[in-house]
Amino acid sequence: MKDHCLRPMRMALLLATVLMAASCRQDDGADPVAAAPEVEQPTAETFQRSLEGLWSTEESEGDDAETLYLFEWQASGGLRVVRDGAWLDGKVEDVDLDNGTLALHVTSDTGPSETVTVRKVPDATTESAFTLRITWAGGQTEGLGFVRRLTARDRADVAEAVRIAGRDAAPANCDTDAPVGSVRAALVCGHEEFGALDAGMRTQFKELADRYPDGDRTVAAATRQLDACGTPSCLRAAYAQWQAYFDENYDLGDVVDYQ
């Protein structure tokens, strides 16, 4: 009689034990499916890759055109930066993830080397968006806004700028008033075609300044446009455009065929 009374009690106790064990397993959160995924931590590489794209200065003043920057990341070559068509021959020295900065050591055969700091400035209104602040060794700063992602043509322009910068230095007797280290100087001193175009244009510059009251201003405007070119096609077109302008508005000696 006692066994018949105890058996239901034992079954109830066993069932309660099983239910408590199942509840404990749920409370422990041991189910791997419910675990939160790991968040990928930023690295120096991901920081540099996040800079890739076309950027420009946020404002322009007077006759000064906006400055364009191309940032390109290559797994084999690292970060490459082109400023207004000229390659900044630089090597990344340090990436400070905590402060969102990158130190780029720029070398030059025609001037002193310097370290340029690139800082990511978070956008207060849009999550994950940012602008860039570039600080040069002398303290000059430039604020950059994102324009667009790089196109195949942009990447070709970067390769061309690197190729031009990698040429041998201009010969000592290279006669040009182009700024040292500029694309115009490299092309004028490295190619017979551009050397002839530049020599003829400068001859007309002198005649223009000597004979016409507005000659100096016109020469200055033409020189700014020529020096701003970052590719051979741009420079060739600029020479042709100014020659056409001179032919239409001034009586100057024809020095070279621009066709």
Tokens linked to 11: 């079954």
In the three-class reduction of DSSP (H, G, I as helix; E, B as strand; rest coil), residue 112 is classed as coil
Contact (CB, 8 A) for 230 and 86: yes
Give the mean pLDDT of 215-225. 90
Read off the amino acid at residue 209: A
1-5, 99-103, 167-171: least confident range: 167-171
pLDDT over 90 percentage in the chain: 30
pTM of the model as a whole: 0.52
The pLDDT score that the predictor gives to residue 150 is: 93
The pLDDT score that the predictor gives to residue 168 is: 41
The pLDDT score that the predictor gives to residue 232 is: 81
Residue-wise pLDDT tens digits, 88-106: 888 899 999 999 999 998 8
- Domains of the chain, by residue range, sit at 44-163, 167-249
Nearest to 158 by CA among 107, 85, 236, 209: 85
Give 227-247 as a DSSP string: HH--SHHHHHHHHHHHHHHHH
The pLDDT score that the predictor gives to residue 65 is: 64
Identify the band that residue 171 occupies on the pLDDT scale cut at 50, 70 and 90. Answer: very low
Q: Is the pLDDT of residue 187 over 90?
A: no
Which is more confidently placed, 66 or 151?
A: 151
Cα angle at 27 between 22 and 28, to 5 degrees? 100
Looking at every residue in the chain, the average pLDDT score rounds to 79
- Interatomic CA distance for residues 82 and 138, integer angstroms: 19
Residue-wise pLDDT tens digits, 132-150: 999 988 788 999 999 999 9
The pLDDT score that the predictor gives to residue 24 is: 53
Please name the residue that has the structure tokens 């006759």.
63
Contact (CB, 8 A) for 182 and 227: yes
CA-derived radius of gyration, the chain = 32
The pLDDT score that the predictor gives to residue 139 is: 85
Give the mean pLDDT of 151-172. 74
Contact (CB, 8 A) for 158 and 80: yes
Tokens linked to 191: 């190619």
